[in-house]
Every structure is written in structure tokens, then in C-alpha cells.
């Protein structure tokens, strides 16, 4: 059966535009991820690894073999008014020079940041912090905060990953090193210059007041973001409905994603909270994705 992308966002099924692979902090290789997505009846997906598109070509190739339409993407870390924000880039075209340079910088910032996180965690008693995080990452090259979180658990300094973030790695804690990220506006402009679309990832997950979240969406729209993820993983239904109204009033587009990282957790490719009833335009209806959609559904 050929893929048909629905006209309404709230009629979407078998679509997932936010997932991770071993190119960042996911547990599955790009091929394994697409295999799992196919097994879960996902028909169209985006690979959105943190600050890299390195897994994309492998995922696209796997998608061609398995009949899953794979849209290249990335989840870009940036900063807005002192808060670390994630921006989903959906990239139907080859990345431009600014995005390529931007992602190279992000990789360098991440490498530097990991050294600093390790240094700070040594101070709270995690000896050989870098090596321990590296051991958690295994085959993966790119270390991230989740690897440090698992290292803290393994060393018995905290009970679980949640507590590791809460005590040591989350916003404002000792292991939260964020000064390197580009501004929201810079990240949006790299994506725009690459012919892609920029969206605010999981707006409900930054622990912002409603007022501050609305300001974030307004600033993001002014900076060239076309919309936001209306549904990300599991979220509060009331807040989801409220977010739908906020996006409606601004005529922003909506996207959907599981933010899947690893099997065994609560989310799986293509599965997330019910989509609130809404007339906001789905991101796949954006003119910049028209060609990709035509190829995917043709
Ligand atoms: P980084 O990209 O290195 O800043 O790490 C951020 C990643 O850590 C997110 O993309 C999530 O995968 C993970 N993460 C953030 N907060 C938490 C949390 N409270 N519990 C578990 N994982 C988290
Ligand atoms: Mn992650
Ligand atoms: Mn994120
Ligand atoms: Mn993510």
C-alpha cells in the first residue's frame, strides 16, 4: 500500500519525526532503528540525532530497502534567554555551508563540554569520570550527558538516571555546561539557508512557565521557526491541547515524534501521546517538504 500523508495533523498514524540513533545518544544503529520503525508500522520518519546528520545516509538507505520514507534531520542544541533549547531541523535538501560549519562547531563544543563535565563530576566524587562515561557509550563515539548519568548510576553515586539529571546534570546543576551553544536565531538561520524547516522540539519539556513558553514560541517564530512539536513522547493531555491552541493562534505548523532513544523504555518508534484535536497544519504540508512528500508517497 503506498504511503499517504494525511491532510490533518490529528489524523496522523505511523509517522514519527523525532528519533535518535548511535550517531548521538540512541542505542540502535541507524539501520536497526529503521528496522524497528518498519516493524512498528512506521511509514515515514525523520532521524534527528543531536547536533549531527552522520547517521542520515545509512538511515535513508535502510528506509529505501524497508519501505520507510526517511527524512534527514537533526536536533540542534541552542540557547535562548539563558535556557538550553532543542530545535528540530527537517532537511529535505543537502545541508548548506552554514549548517555544515555549524554542526562541525557543535561537535567541537560537545567534545570540549564533555571534558568539562568530566572535570566537574570528578569534583563530586566520580573518579575517572571521562573514561567511565566512555565505557557507558560503548561503540558510540559521541558522548552525551546520558552517558555521564549512567556512569554516576554505575558508580553508585545515584540510584537511577533520573536522579543523576536531577542532582548533577540537569538545568542549572554542576554538570550542565551550556555556554557554547549557538543562539536560537543562528540555529534557525542555518536550517533556513539549507532549505529545511526549523521547529521547536518538545516545548512542554523545558520546565518553563506557560508565559515563558509562549514567549519562546513567539521569539522562535520571529527567528524563522515554522512551528513546534505538538506531541513529543508522552505528555500531559491538557497541556497538549493548550499548546495546540497557542500554535493555532500563531498559524504555526505542528510536528510529532516519539523522541525514541532505546528499546525497553516507555516509548517506541511511532508511539506517543494521543494527538489533540486540532486544525493546525502538519509539518509535512510545508512547501519546503512538498518534494520529499511527493517522492515518499509516489
Ligand atoms: P546532551 O545532549 O548531552 O545535553 O544530553 C541531553 C539528553 O539527555 C537528552 O536528549 C535526553 O536524551 C537526555 N536527558 C535529558 N534529561 C533527562 C532526564 N531527566 N532523564 C533522562 N534522560 C534525560
Ligand atoms: Mn537525547
Ligand atoms: Mn531534546
Ligand atoms: Mn531528542
pLDDT value of position 179? 73
Digit-coded pLDDT (tens) for 100-140? 999 999 999 999 999 999 999 999 999 999 999 999 998 88
Q: What contacts 24+ positions apart, CB below 8 Å, involve 98-103? A: 98/189, 98/190, 98/193, 98/194, 99/190, 99/191, 99/193, 99/194, 99/196, 102/76, 102/182, 102/186, 102/187, 102/190, 103/51, 103/52, 103/53, 103/74
Determine the pLDDT at residue 3. Answer: 76
Strands 15-16 and 44-47: parallel
CB 80 near ligand 1, within 6 Å: no
Residue having the nearest C-alpha atom to atom 17 of ligand 1? 165
Check pocket membership of 153 for ligand 1, CB cut-off 6 A: no
User: In this structure, how many other beta carbons lie within 10 angstroms of the beta carbon of residue 154?
Assistant: 14
pLDDT in tens, 249-259: 999 999 999 99
This prediction's pTM: 0.97
pLDDT value at residue 2: 59
Separation of CA 113 and ligand 3 centre (Å): 17
Report, as an integer, the average pLDDT of 207-225: 98
pLDDT level of residue 142 (50, 70, 90 thresholds):
confident
User: pLDDT at position 8, please?
Assistant: 96
Summarised one tens digit per residue, pLDDT across range 2-16 is 577 999 999 999 999
- Our mutation pick for probing the ligand 1 site, out of 110, 146, 152, counting the most ligand atoms within 8 A of Cβ, is 146
Strand partners, 76: 87
> 144, 148, 151, 160: which to mutate for ligand 1, most atoms within 8 A of CB?
144
Task: Identify whether the C-beta of residue 251 lies closer than 8 Å to the C-beta of residue 285.
Answer: no
Give the ligand with the smallest distance to the CA of 145: 1
Which residue in this structure is represented by grid cell 490533518? 8
pLDDT at 247: 98
Amino acid at each position: 500500500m503506498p504511503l499517504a500523508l494525511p491532510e490533518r495533523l490529528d489524523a496522523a498514524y505511523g509517522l514519527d519525526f523525532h528519533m535518535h540513533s548511535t550517531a548521538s545518544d540512541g542505542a540502535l544503529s541507524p539501520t536497526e532503528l529503521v528496522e524497528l520503525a518498519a516493524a512498528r508500522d512506521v511509514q515515514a520518519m525523520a532521524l534527528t540525532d543531536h547536533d549531527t546528520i552522520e547517521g542520515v545516509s545509512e538511515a535513508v538507505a535502510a528506509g529505501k530497502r524497508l519501505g520507510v520514507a526517511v527524512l534527514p534531520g537533526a536536533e540542534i542544541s541552542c540557547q535562548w534567554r539563558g535556557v538550553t533549547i532543542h530545535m528540530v531541523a527537517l532537511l529535505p535538501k543537502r545541508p548548506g555551508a552554514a549548517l555544515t560549519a555549524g554542526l562541525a562547531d557543535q561537535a567541537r563544543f560537545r567534545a570540549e563540554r564533555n571534558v568539562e563535565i568530566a572535570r566537574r563530576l570528578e569534583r563530586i566524587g566520580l573518579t575517572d569520570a571521562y573514561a567511565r562515561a566512555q565505557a557507558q557509550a560503548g561503540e558510540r563515539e559521541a558522548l552525551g550527558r546520558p552517558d555521564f548519568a549512567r556512569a554516576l548510576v554505575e558508580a553508585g553515586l545515584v540510584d537511577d538516571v533520573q536522579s543523576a539529571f536531577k542532582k548533577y546534570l540537569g538545568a542549572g546543576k554542576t554538570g550542565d555546561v551550556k555556554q557554547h551553544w549557538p543562539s536560537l536565531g543562528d540555529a534557525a538561520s542555518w536550517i533556513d539557508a539549507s532549505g529545511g524547516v526549523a521547529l521547536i522540539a518538545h516545548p512542554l519539556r523545558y520546565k518553563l512557565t506557560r508565559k515563558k513558553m509562549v514567549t519562546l514560541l513567539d521569539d522562535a517564530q520571529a527567528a524563522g521557526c515554522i512551528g513546534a512539536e505538538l506531541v513529543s513522547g508522552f505528555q500531559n493531555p491538557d497541556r497538549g491541547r493548550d499548546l495546540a491552541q497557542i500554535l493555532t493562534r500563531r498559524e504555526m505548523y505542528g510536528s510529532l515524534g516519539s523522541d525514541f532513544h532505546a528499546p525497553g523504555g516507555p516509548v517506541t518508534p511511532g508511539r506517543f501521546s494521543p494527538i489533540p484535536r486540532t486544525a493546525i497544519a502538519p509539518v509535512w504540508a510545508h512547501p519546503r517538504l512538498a518534494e520529499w512528500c511527493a517522492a515518499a508517497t509516489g
